[in-house]
Structure 1
């Protein structure tokens, strides 16, 4: 407990809580708020984004004039011209005109400039202003005054086409086009440097609130302007070391709150779940789950994730519900949400969302009988988040049009992450030796290896176990309890009979009974031994202890009256040790084990009825249950008289159709 509180306290952010809760558009329900000190009013994200866009618009892209490009390309043109002139098919006297016109055309293009336009700066149209740098001198131009490569090629084509003195236009155009290159080169590095400098100079504040100035009056409307002042005051309070106080004192406060939460949890366990309170493994598991969630929240706050609702808070009640029970899951979830509320913004809204989603998670897996319930639970949690999100948005904004649907994305991711609970449950089961309802579902599969072996070696016992499972499950559902657990226990309670199946009447052929050749003491010991053998088989096959409890207790410490009374009748002069005819126990210690004992005895006894009818079945059920009560077999099982009455009624109605005959010695 101490280690858990210490770890949580160590990781929690060490900043004091701003004591006021407020929302834009609502009334200020506290006393008049006077500024305790001067502080700057921070700009809103929208204002900062507008300033950023203004800065980016004000910075013109920088282009450098590369003079070497014109010189190089003109010289290359002359070289190409001389080499290719013989292919022009013109008179020698026309050579000078062709050459001079080509040089003049290239000079006019490069003097105007050739560049590539950037879509980034085409905000108001295809053209934009830019700065041209030449010899460290900057000149503002507009792209409308320059050529792009395509425009330069089109210009050259038009000029050559309009010159009547040029006969072989295609020949000259091909040479000129090859020599048109960009000479205005975009300087991306310098442009970005200017933009970054401009962004760094953006002011994050707009105005000041002086010490002693009224920020908001009691019951005044929190306008956007007032809201921003409150946000600025809160941020100043939480960031300024001189204001927010000593971190060591904050640590003490957090330790006290964490200690209180864990203490309340321990008190709850001590009062209502003493079995968990006395089991260090289970307490360790619970504290690990709580500590892990709180550390995850602390990391999320410290790393400033965009939204705390990305954290899958519903994972805690899911894990605790499946590994333990509904009441404990709800109690732990409430405590975890309460402590988290001190460190998240809009704590009431956070608590409302998480408490309702946790309740939905717990209720949706109240009776886990199919794996598809995992996905159904996730959908129900998402539906709860959606309803809460829409409701809170409508209360806050008063309009459907102002709902920010993109803000619902964190909830979707949170629900998807909550599905990680199921592999974590398996991990916790293996580490802490706890059996979840997921494992119970696997155990109740009649195709499981041990149950298949039972159906092969002792088919009568297998059928008996199925009938007992049906009786016990129906009863436990009506009186309250874990139906899946009692069904699993019923299916495995008689697996010890696989060792000597022929000694049990349900597996015997008619007319053949091996007990006829045995003494009463030997027969009793063989029958009783199926309990200890069942425990051995269960442990050898790694069945959970919670299932082995059903094997131990399904006969309690009752006496095997058939063989005991037969011994007394036939050997009245001999001394008899009654313990030879008594099961080792212990007696049932839960509702589930108690119901199984009753279902097992009633189902077994009902097979001995010769002509079953309503009267004989009613009499049989009452006799068996009364006998167990008289023997004190249900003293530790937490079953009330009202539960007993309900069990009688259910057993009677379900046994009306059973017509099997069975000897009473296996009672």
Structure 2
């Protein structure tokens, strides 16, 4: 009971702790306390107008504060050792926040805060604050949507050039000795960010576009294992990944995260792949098993997936797809089978046939939940025509909505309609019908020539294979 109450007020606790830290920060660095109140006002602004700061993890407040404290400490030490103010790492902070959160609105706020404090620490210089602000915003735009580490270094070089030009405009005539620190500052920030990024990713458990692309490598041990041991699940995951990526793009969600999360959402099936329909060849392994045993095997793939993910050190953001891709939905087939086989004095409770959850808490995990169900339902359509696929897609999404599986995420009805359109379009292309070719006597020459490669076979090849 107490743990539930703590969990309920956890966001408010984080907000309170964050505010206290931010008020005490200026005192620690000998800055006016008004600066601390400015920081708190920004936190409150984001609390009531939330961008990516609160969307994914509640500890994001503390992660951002850690980065800001690190920035203030670096700036304070640089001025203490009389190092030129141009080396204050506003650019580095802008890079970190942009790469971690991919939200320019959030980055802009931190650029304003960092530039303001950098100007105060450097002797209350408005010109320096403006130089830092413009340079930091330009750097953020340069690394926004980053997918290659080399782009960090090129962004650092460009930010150094921009900062040097701004300094020359603000303090003419500028000598080479005064411009050099501005140029070197961008390069140094880029080298530091590129070198420390993997460390901070592991420390905070944050996924960036770079780490997601590394997980998309099909030589990853888990994906290679899936290809060999559960090829049906592997193909299903690829299709779900493509569906999720396009659907996320259509509503402005993180498409790369949705695709990579879909690749790994079913890794728990690797423990008993033969019990899942896409990997079964002849008879079902569930024949002869009690419905309660079958549903236990099916539901356990979530728990086993979490264990595999931790064994291979997947990030928490990827594990969320494993835990949430069924929400607390019903294992309907075996629930119905249990009701059909019920004895007189026996009672079957629906709760016993539901996944443990939780329900999806982000747009990306919700999209994968929908894509997973829609792909599975579309695969069994006898005549996969566009109209029939569209009907199935809307039916699946509607059922998930009515069942409450989308209650904890930020998807709107408009988003769901866009997602349905994307699913229908893509699945119509994947499961399209084929023309039936007549088995006439034409193309005899081609048929006989092809048959020469298949001795002992009298049956003519299908024209598509010639």
Q: TM-score interval w.r.t. the shorter chain?
A: 0.7 to 0.9
The answer (yes or no) to whether the contact 2:94–2:110 under 8 Å persists in 1 is yes
Matches within 5 A, 1:598-617: 598-617=370-389
TM-score by length of structure 1 reads 0.57
Which among 299, 321, 324 is matched to residue 77 of structure 2?
A: 299
Match in the other structure for 1:626: 398
The answer (yes or no) to whether the contact 2:359–2:405 under 8 Å persists in 1 is yes
What is the CA distance between 1:5 and its match in structure 2?
A: 5.5
Matches within 5 A, 1:461-610: 461-509=233-281, 511-571=282-342, 573=344, 574-610=346-382
Which among 415, 428, 451 is matched to residue 656 of structure 1?
A: 428
Partner deviation per Cα, 1:447-483 (whole Å, 9 max, x = no partner): 1122222222111111111111111111112212222
The answer (yes or no) to whether the contact 1:553–1:586 under 8 Å persists in 2 is yes
Match in the other structure for 2:86: 309
Match in the other structure for 1:178: none
What is the CA distance between 1:273 and its match in structure 2?
A: 6.2
The answer (yes or no) to whether the contact 1:473–1:484 under 8 Å persists in 2 is yes
Partner deviation per Cα, 1:305-356 (whole Å, 9 max, x = no partner): 3x32233321001112222342333222211211222243683332222222
Give the distance between the partners of 2:55 and 2:356, measured in 1 at CA.
Answer: 28
Compared with structure 1, are the counterparts of its residues 561 and 653 closer, same or farther at alpha carbon in structure 2 (3 Å cutoff)? same
What is the CA distance between 1:268 and its match in structure 2?
A: 3.5
The answer (yes or no) to whether the contact 1:5–1:255 under 8 Å persists in 2 is no
For the residue of structure 2 that corresponds to 1:528, the secondary structure is: helix
TM-score by length of structure 2 reads 0.80
For the residue of structure 1 that corresponds to 2:287, the secondary structure is: helix
Matches within 5 A, 1:38-187: none
Alignment RMSD: 2.8
The answer (yes or no) to whether the contact 1:524–1:580 under 8 Å persists in 2 is no
Q: Who wins on radius of gyration, i.e. which is larger?
A: 1
Match in the other structure for 1:324: 101
Unaligned runs of 5+ residues in structure 2 are 1-17, 434-466
Q: How many aligned positions are there? A: 411
Match in the other structure for 1:228: none
Give the distance between the partners of 1:278 and 1:537, measured in 2 at CA.
Answer: 22
What is the CA distance between 1:297 and its match in structure 2?
A: 2.3
Match in the other structure for 1:334: 112
Matches within 5 A, 1:214-363: 254-271=31-48, 272=50, 282-305=60-83, 307-326=84-103, 327-344=105-122, 347-363=125-141
Compared with structure 1, are the counterparts of its residues 558 and 256 closer, same or farther at alpha carbon in structure 2 (3 Å cutoff)? same
Match in the other structure for 2:454: none
Match in the other structure for 1:432: 204
Compared with structure 1, are the counterparts of its residues 527 and 275 closer, same or farther at alpha carbon in structure 2 (3 Å cutoff)? farther
What is the CA distance between 1:655 and its match in structure 2?
A: 0.9
The answer (yes or no) to whether the contact 1:564–1:581 under 8 Å persists in 2 is yes
Question: Could you say which structure has the higher strand fraction?
Answer: 1
The answer (yes or no) to whether the contact 1:386–1:408 under 8 Å persists in 2 is yes
Unaligned runs of 5+ residues in structure 1 are 13-253, 662-667
Match in the other structure for 2:195: 423
Give the distance between the partners of 2:303 and 2:237, measured in 1 at CA.
Answer: 17
Matches within 5 A, 1:178-217: none
Give the distance between the partners of 2:56 and 2:273, measured in 1 at CA.
Answer: 39
Question: Could you say which structure has the higher helix fraction?
Answer: 2
The answer (yes or no) to whether the contact 1:317–1:362 under 8 Å persists in 2 is yes
Give the distance between the partners of 2:368 and 2:41, measured in 1 at CA.
Answer: 35
Compared with structure 1, are the counterparts of its residues 469 and 350 closer, same or farther at alpha carbon in structure 2 (3 Å cutoff)? same
Give the distance between the partners of 2:64 and 2:78, measured in 1 at CA.
Answer: 21
Give the distance between the partners of 2:141 and 2:56, measured in 1 at CA.
Answer: 27
What is the CA distance between 1:363 and its match in structure 2?
A: 2.5
Give the distance between the partners of 2:408 and 2:62, measured in 1 at CA.
Answer: 27
Match in the other structure for 1:167: none
The answer (yes or no) to whether the contact 2:115–2:130 under 8 Å persists in 1 is no
What is the CA distance between 1:589 and its match in structure 2?
A: 0.9
Partner deviation per Cα, 1:256-284 (whole Å, 9 max, x = no partner): 12321331243244332697599785444
